Amino acid sequence: MITPEDYSYLSALLRTKSGLALGPGKEYLLESRLPPVAKAYGFASVNELVATLRTGPHQELIKAVCDAMTTGETFFFRDTVPFDLLRTTILPEAADRCRRAGRALRIWSAAASTGQESYSIAMLLADMGVQLSGVRVDLVATDFASHALNRARRGLFTQIEVQRGLPERYLRQFFINTPDGYRLADDIRRRVAFRELNLLESFRSLGQFDVILCRNVLIYFDSLTKKDVLDRLSSALTPGGYLFLGATETAFGLTERLVRIPDVPTSLHVRREDVTVAEQRLRVGTQAASVA
Ligand SMILES: C[S@@+](CC[C@H](N)C(=O)[O-])C[C@H]1O[C@@H](n2cnc3c(N)ncnc32)[C@H](O)[C@@H]1O
């Protein structure tokens, strides 16, 4: 049983270290997720683990606790619309701009979990082939949770995972059925550079991106943290760049720097100064896609 004191202590720890705003009444989450961490580190109980945490900075243990409390729910081509927009409109247009500017097209999956989001994009890029020819694409995927990233890097998925959202055609084209699971083709796997990154910390060193997907992670943060991350994400967008949030997430009411594009059935944001141009591009792109 988690005591009220341990609950307050762990809530504060999680909030400052990973941004997770546990809120009241979530004892059951700690009670279900922390016993394996306690066991792995040789503690008889979660209470013992917390007692040790209280004695000083145990960085590895803190990270293990925070990792265990993350929720990695994800699947291929989640919500469909962002990937349709990328394929029909955003990537061809961004590729054109990058080609003319002689620079790489840069995409960031900012809460990558076990890799399905970034690999969906990698498959899309492979599928788009000639449309993107002559442009180098940098595809970066980051997450806080080491265990999720380790799985992502392996590129090995279960039958259930490949049955969630992945078009049959892509399963046949890009996966090999092995005794260990469905292995993603090496050339798709190599397109993604995975890195551990805590969104609470500076991500300036990653540079700027034409497309950022930061989906279904802000929901776990409190408003101040959401605002801070969104403000910094707006600075990580190239002029004219796009930010996809999760279907239920919005920057509205949190930051003035980002504006949601109306009339697009997904949570797509751009920098305030880019709204008019982005709306026009999306209109033109969508018309072209429906004619094709
Ligand atoms: C629900 S998953 C979303 C995965 C994917 N973006 C999607 O929408 O399918 C949330 C991910 O956010 C990660 N996460 C939680 N806190 C984080 C933080 N402070 N910095 C970076 N990633 C974090 C978790 O480890 C988890 O993999």
Enumerate residues lining ligand 1, CB below 6 A: 18-19, 70-74, 78, 111, 113, 117, 143-145, 148, 198-200, 215-217, 220, 246
Q: How far is the CA of 114 from the centre of ligand 1 (A)?
A: 9
Give the number of the atom of ligand 1 that is nearest the alpha carbon of residue 145.
Answer: 25
CA of 143 from ligand 1 middle (Å) equals: 6
Locus of tokens 């949030």 = 245
* Residue among 76, 143, 228 whose CB has most ligand 1 atoms within 8 A, to mutate: 143
Q: So what's the pLDDT on residue 71? A: 97
Helices (H), the chain: 4-17, 27-33, 35-40, 46-54, 59-68, 81-85, 91-101, 116-128, 146-154, 159-162, 168-174, 186-189, 223-235, 275-291
CA distance 144 to 41: 20
Q: What is the dihedral of CA 281, 287, 291, 292, to 10 degrees?
A: 30
Residues of the chain with CATH 3.40.50.150: 81-291
Please provide residue 24's backbone torsions phi and psi, each rounded to the nearest 5 degrees.
Answer: -80, 155
- Measured in Å, residue 283 CA sits from the centre of ligand 1 at 31
Atom of ligand 1 nearest to the CA of 19: 19
> In what side-by-side order are the strands of the sheet with 137-143?
192-196, 137-143, 105-109, 209-214, 237-245, 268-271, 258-260
Query: For position 291, what pLDDT does the model report?
Result: 65
* Local structure of residue 3 (DSSP, 8 states): -
Q: Does domain 81-291 have CATH number 3.60.15.30?
A: no
If one counts every other C-beta atom within 10 angstroms of the C-beta of residue 18, the result is 23
- What are the residues whose beta carbons fall under 8 Å from the beta carbon of 276, sequence distance 6 or more? none
What per-residue confidence (pLDDT) applies to 1?
86
User: pLDDT value at position 292?
Assistant: 59
* Distance of CA 242 from the midpoint of ligand 1 (Å): 19
Can you give the pLDDT at residue 166? Answer: 98
What does the pLDDT read at residue 286?
A: 72
Span 59-88, pLDDT tens digits: 999 999 999 999 999 999 999 999 999 999
Give the nearest ligand 1 atom to 74 CA.
9
Cα of 233 vs centre of ligand 1, distance in Å, is 15
Give Cβ neighbours of residue 226 (< 8 Å, ≥ 6 apart): 218, 254
Alpha carbon distance 30, 25 (integer Å): 10
Give distance in angstroms: CA of 133 to centre of ligand 1.
31
pLDDT (tens, 9 = 90+) of the chain, 292 residues, equals 899 999 999 999 999 999 999 989 999 999 999 999 999 999 999 999 999 999 988 999 999 999 999 999 999 999 999 999 999 999 999 999 999 999 999 999 999 999 999 999 999 999 999 889 999 999 999 999 999 999 999 999 999 999 999 999 999 999 999 999 999 999 999 999 999 999 999 999 999 999 999 999 999 999 999 999 999 999 999 999 999 999 999 999 999 999 999 989 999 999 999 999 999 998 877 777 666 5
In this prediction, residue 28 carries a pLDDT of 96
